[in-house]
Amino acid sequence: MGEKWTADKILDLSGKTIIITGANSGIGYESAREFIRNGAEVIIASRDPIKADRAVLRIEEEFPGAKLKFIELNLASLESIRKFAGEFKSNYDRLDILLNNAGIMMVLYGETEDGFEYTMGTNHLGHFALTGLLMDRLSTTPGARVVSVASNAHYAGKMDFNNLLFENGHEYTPMKAYSRSKLANLLFTYEIQRRFQSRDHGVIALAAHPGIAATSLANHLFFNKISWLIQPAMKLIFQSSAMGALPSLRAAVDPEARGGMYYGPGGRGEKSGYPIVVDSNSASKDEKDALRLWERSEELTGIRYLD
């Protein structure tokens, strides 16, 4: 593990089909570029058609002949998630990698189309539903992987099953909601891996976090009114989106990766650096909480995973 892992280590991905949520910018976009560079067919799943089309054009200009498609997906809408899954499955008979990358961070209280608190609804419940609806393709694709992008913010996360979705904004703060959603991403990863293992699906689940990268998401670390002032400094202090994408890429393609592994930057405080296997806190490994979250997620989304 002493050798630096870079995108140059990605093997040929010809014949592989990959979905990336939120791939129109930031680490999702950089992941898409590297997958395309190595021959994969990539589906950009995004809620913003204009930004997604621009991302597709940029990648196609860089890699002529790229196998790249945009399918609209709004993770804050179960209807949109079902529509996306239906369109994908009508056109593709395999899914090698599902990279659950999209996320929102530090937003004011709001609700999704289905009445879920917006951050948990998008970051966790949306991906939970999407993964469940794509399980038939994942489970019939040899060596398939589900990679969920978490965050060091999970250390501050607390599960409260009596008020999981901050009902009517009760006890809501942007940081509480974001941290809880990132803890949920890890609880989900470890629980689905246990299920994969017990049922011998052949699919594996992993997680990754980017450290602190200079992406549009990082703007929310600061007040929106002054984000334009600190953006130049961010590029000097924070690592690039390309570096931030490396943990996700390694989790998605490293032949030595195993189910349940968690990748993050290897530098001080896991803020930057080349990807290594990292650890998460004890709360993320609480099997009782993981099961409660799984059951509540099935209840809320109406999506039940097939054995």
Q: Which residues are catalytic?
A: 178
Rounded Cα distance between 276 and 130, Å, is 27
Rounded Cα distance between 20 and 33, Å, is 11
Judge contact between 21 and 127, C-beta under 8 A. Answer: yes
Alpha helices, H only, the chain: 26-37, 49-62, 78-91, 118-120, 127-133, 135-139, 174-199, 227-237, 241-253, 287-301
Q: In what order do the strands lie in the sheet with 68-72?
A: 68-72, 41-46, 17-21, 97-100, 145-149, 204-208, 262-265, 275-277
Rounded Cα distance between 57 and 239, Å, is 25
Beta bridge partners of 20: 44, 99
Rounded Cα distance between 85 and 68, Å, is 17
Nearest CA among 277, 156, 149 for reference residue 217: 149
CA 187 to chain centre: 13
Angle, in degrees to the nearest 10, between helices 174-199 and 287-301: 100
Rounded Cα distance between 212 and 23, Å, is 18
Structure tokens at 304: 């039940």
Inter-CA distances, 37 with 5, 8, 59, 73, Å: 17, 10, 9, 24
Rounded Cα distance between 67 and 43, Å, is 9
